[in-house]
Amino acid sequence: VDEAVEAEKQADAMSIARFNDEIGIFLQQGATNRTTAIKWMLQARGYDESPEDANWICYNNGINPYIPAGKAIFDEVEAAIGHTL
């Protein structure tokens, strides 16, 4: 059981790191902040930036919204989408 919990923690950390790395690429490409980088990522992946997309982008990136770091990313994505509506 402890091994499974540890494996899940590692998977969560890797998913969050990959998400942040991708945001970092958009920042290097000229996004002025994380909100803009998230918008660009949504556009690049073909999302229409509806409120449901916050769920999908997190799910498709393996982001667990039930841990603090995952919830923070979910909230960031949701806020970025809110800026476009």
- Residue 49 near residue 39 (C-beta atoms within 8 A): yes
pLDDT at 85: 45
Distance CA 42, CA 25 (A): 13
- For residue 38, the 8-state DSSP code is H
pTM, whole model, 2 decimals? 0.84
Instruction: Give the model's confidence band at 57: pLDDT under 50 very low, under 70 low, under 90 confident, else very high.
Output: confident
In tens, the pLDDT along 14-39 reads 999 999 999 999 999 999 999 999 99
